[in-house]
Amino acid sequence: MTVFTLVRHGQTDWNIARRYQGQKDIPLNAEGLRQAQQLASQLNGKPFDAIYSSDLQRALETAEILHYERDIPLRTDVRLREICFGEWEGEVFSEMYAKYPERFAQSRANPAIVMAPGGESVAQVAERTTSFADEVSHHFPLGKLLVVTHGMALATLVCRANNLPLTEAHNMIPENATPIEIRWEEKKIK
């Protein structure tokens, strides 16, 4: 069984402004850099076989800080990107909630429904993150891997690893730069 230590990237200015980041390439802010450095200290001495990261800047910056002084591979994978919010990327949460209350209620009740025009559903995110985890766990069947990703991408992995319905995904999103350990057995979900 592969052990994944999942980490949500450090804080960004858009986290503070409560904006949908999605797949926009937003950098860490000063607090996010500090959070990543603090997490690196916390994980110091913990052995990992490799680090995988989303290719988006905020996750990769976090991963690079966690990788510092570790003699292990650091790889990026687009399947670890955040959920795509389509036309809502850059918009403020509260404004979208007020504008589309029915869509939000439906998306939480049924994660197969696309949340935003031109965006992805939670189920689509789960398909790609599961594909990533299955592939990596196949290569590291007894491995210990550090995975730096985003809130919803991370939450779908937590749900899949623990056999939870995707309706729970929104409740599984951790704070920035917070590690969560899961044990992964191949799901082989197509």
Q: Which residue has the tokens 């790889």?
A: 75
- Give the active site residue among 67, 138, 139, 150: 150
Other CB atoms within a 10 A radius of the CB of residue 96 amount to 19
Strand 74-76 and strand 179-184: the pairing is unpaired
User: Distance between terminal CA atoms of the chain?
Assistant: 20
Residues 2 and 184 sit within 8 Å (Cβ to Cβ): yes
Dig out the tokens for 95 from the structure: 């404004």
- Give the active site residue among 9, 67, 138, 170: 9
Distances (CA, A) of 65 to 41, 43, 60, 68: 10, 11, 9, 5
CA distance 97 to 43: 37
Whether 139 is a known active-site residue: answer: no
CA angle 128, 152, 82 (to 5 degrees): 65
Whether 150 is a known active-site residue: answer: yes
Contacts of 30 (CB under 8 A, 6+ apart): none
Active site residues: 9, 150
